[in-house]
Amino acid sequence: MDHAHDIIHPVEDSFARDVLAGLSADVKTLPSRWLYDERGSALFEEITRLDEYYLTRAETSILRERQNDIADFVESGAILIEYGAGAGVKTELVLAGLREPRGYVPIDIADTFLAETSKRIALRFPSLWVRPIERNFLDVFKVPFDESDGGRTGFFPGSTMGNLNASEAKTLLTQMGQHLGDDGRAIIGVDLQKNVGTLLRAYDDSAGVTAAFNLNLLERINAELGGDFRLEQFEHAARWNEIEKAVEMHLVSLCDQRVTICGRTFDFRTSETIHTESSRKYTAESFERLARSGGWRVAEAWQDADRLFGLFGLIRG
Ligand SMILES: C[S@@+](CC[C@H](N)C(=O)[O-])C[C@H]1O[C@@H](n2cnc3c(N)ncnc32)[C@H](O)[C@@H]1O
């Protein structure tokens, strides 16, 4: 029987642990990876189509314009391993341009789109081996291919790298090195530093989709962990952190209140926030430093016409 797109390695249930620890800290924080349940993933796809959210348009334009350069960079017959694959829309663009790609391994902590994305891609590229992995990509794990299967290229678009702090980014880049091997290559998309107004609008759109995406995390806690958050008593905020060069998403408490989750209580003061995501913005130099910290070197740097977004081709070393 062909199990070509059976999902391997189910995610360990660590949501409760992360929520209880994050809300017990002096500065309340929740890891952004939990934003992507079924509704969160659908809302994120809606965000990618918003006028204010230039990131997806800019990255997609690079992938289209540089399709041949990308195919030259990735050797023929390669296996593409994608970190944080989501709906895999950009993946199809890349796979369509590659020369005889052999395999595709989408990795995502959210099972929502993983099965759908894998099926769609397997149907469109019938000769491709598709092996989805449901996993936190910061965990240590193996991918189901070895050196003898041919060249491997990592693909990490969507500026998801910017959601990781320096230590997490180093962990992931190092793990990518192990997955992809000494001859491995990686293609990583990151958002570039620009005027703060443009950045903040991308994370606080006029239609309120990003606000719904952020507040959905509280709904997820209510639904999955029996929490009693009153959503109308919190509001979404996007803030620029000049030191981190990051847009931060917060959920701001609108009053003094007490919330119960899994039988534990958490007190919020008026204006106190839960920090739910940081989206770090890079220059070519700061990204190069980050890549080096994880054992990689920038071999190719591509940008869109407006120089909003950067796509980098990395080799080991
Ligand atoms: C910003 S979206 C990008 C989606 C898609 N790659 C794109 O470019 O539009 C981030 C994706 O990474 C996944 N993700 C975030 N943190 C993760 C983690 N620690 N481990 C695995 N997947 C993660 C999310 O579930 C989501 O699908």
| CATH no. for 11-135+145-225+281-317 | 3.40.50.150
How far is the centre of ligand 1, averaged over its atoms, from the C-alpha of 84 (Å)? 3
Please tell me the least confidently modeled range out of 3-12, 59-68, 140-149, 289-298.
3-12
The mean pLDDT value for 230-240 works out to 98
CA atoms within 13 A on the CB side of 39: 14
Measuring from atom 3 of ligand 1, which residue has the nearest CA? Answer: 158
How far is the centre of ligand 1, averaged over its atoms, from the C-alpha of 315 (Å)? 22
Reply yes or no on whether the pLDDT at 90 is more than 80: yes
Exposure string of 204-218, with b = 16+ CB inside 10 Å and e = fewer, is: bbeeebbbbbbbbbb
Verify whether ligand 1 is closer than 6 Å to residue 110 (CB atom). yes
% of the chain at pLDDT higher than 70: 94
Please report the pLDDT score of residue 28 as a whole number.
98
Please report the pLDDT score of residue 147 as a whole number.
61
Helices (H), 181-317: 196-202, 209-225, 284-293
How far is the centre of ligand 1, averaged over its atoms, from the C-alpha of 258 (Å)? 31
Give the start-to-end residue ranges of the domains of the chain.
Answer: 11-135+145-225+281-317
pLDDT digit string, tens, across residues 183-230? 999 999 999 999 999 999 999 999 999 999 999 999 999 999 999 999
Please report the pLDDT score of residue 112 as a whole number.
83
Reply yes or no on whether the pLDDT at 74 is more than 80: yes
Helical (H) or strand (E) element with 243: none
Verify whether ligand 1 is closer than 6 Å to residue 109 (CB atom). yes
pLDDT digit string, tens, across residues 136-193? 999 999 998 766 667 999 999 999 999 999 999 999 999 999 999 999 999 999 999 9
Please tell me the least confidently modeled range out of 53-62, 107-116, 173-182, 204-213.
107-116
DSSP string, 200-226: HHHTS-TT-HHHHHHHHHHHHHHHHH-
